[in-house]
Structure 1
């Protein structure tokens, strides 16, 4: 059953997933990129991101149920929306502007936003902060993949 505390995290997850999907273009430019041997197959990215968004949303909702501290909840709301914007910006830079080099720089801020969410949730619940670890790990992997893509294909622009 959907309650008020679930609406914002649900809206965040759906917004980031849908807009990120629209920003992602696996067309000829992307297909022509040299990829590192260790890159996961393209079909794996959807399930990975879906799992990350579900776990993040669960952590967010559970923290909203565990604390009434307005400053923590406000910080968490701001961090999640900032994170969503950074997530979308990465896709736009990489796929729409075809600038993996720019997205590589931006990915540092994306990683820091996930870390900030993790640390904010940890103030309320160590258990639910662990729900953010797959996101932190995946963005770390994505940065390494982004780095290798720039190394194999640069310069861009």
Structure 2
């Protein structure tokens, strides 16, 4: 498998672009609405979210690149791509539902769907390239934490 830097850059750019769109949905609410919410004691400081998500989007892009490099050997490549993009769309959707629409309960339901699809995506990627599946572990852990945080914010508000 020959390294293809442009393909890697494109894979990472796609995920970072999704992250940037989600960031647009959060920008105003992080300053106005979000501070007014009751949050649990383990709520991370706001400055932590940007670096964590940026790192995760880069990892997600690397995983997609590893799978893309083996696309000719994947029997159900279109299904793999569909699951990948569904989790990215659900990821983006959570930001809009929570921060733009201020629908905490709906955001909780949505993030649980997101977590399910991320796990499915990780398993599919693992079967294609073990590294790609394992790269999803920090993403699964963070979204699990974000789900628990969303649940607590929902209960407190």
Q: How many angstroms apart in 2 are the aligned matches of 1:79 and 1:8?
A: 18
Q: How many angstroms apart in 1 are the aligned matches of 2:132 and 2:51?
A: 21
Describe how 1:108-119 pairs up with structure 2 within 5 A.
108-119=112-123
TM-score by length of 2: 0.88
Gaps of 5+ in 1: none
Describe how 1:49-68 pairs up with structure 2 within 5 A.
49-68=53-72
Matched residues, number: 152
Q: How many angstroms apart in 2 are the aligned matches of 1:34 and 1:58?
A: 36
* Cα deviation, residue 109, structure 1: 1.1
Measured on the aligned residues, the alpha-carbon RMSD in Å equals 1.7
TM-score by length of 1: 0.88
Confirm or deny: 8 A CA contact 2:16 2:54 kept in the other structure. no
Gaps of 5+ in 2: none
Question: 1:68-109: CA deviations, max 9, x gaps?
Answer: 134443223212211121111111111111111110011111
Partner of 2:137: 133
Q: Cα gap change, 1:72/1:48 in structure 2, threshold over 3 Å: closer, same or farther?
A: farther
Q: How many angstroms apart in 1 are the aligned matches of 2:76 and 2:136?
A: 16
Partner of 2:17: 15
Confirm or deny: 8 A CA contact 1:12 1:84 kept in the other structure. no
1:74 paired to 2:78: yes
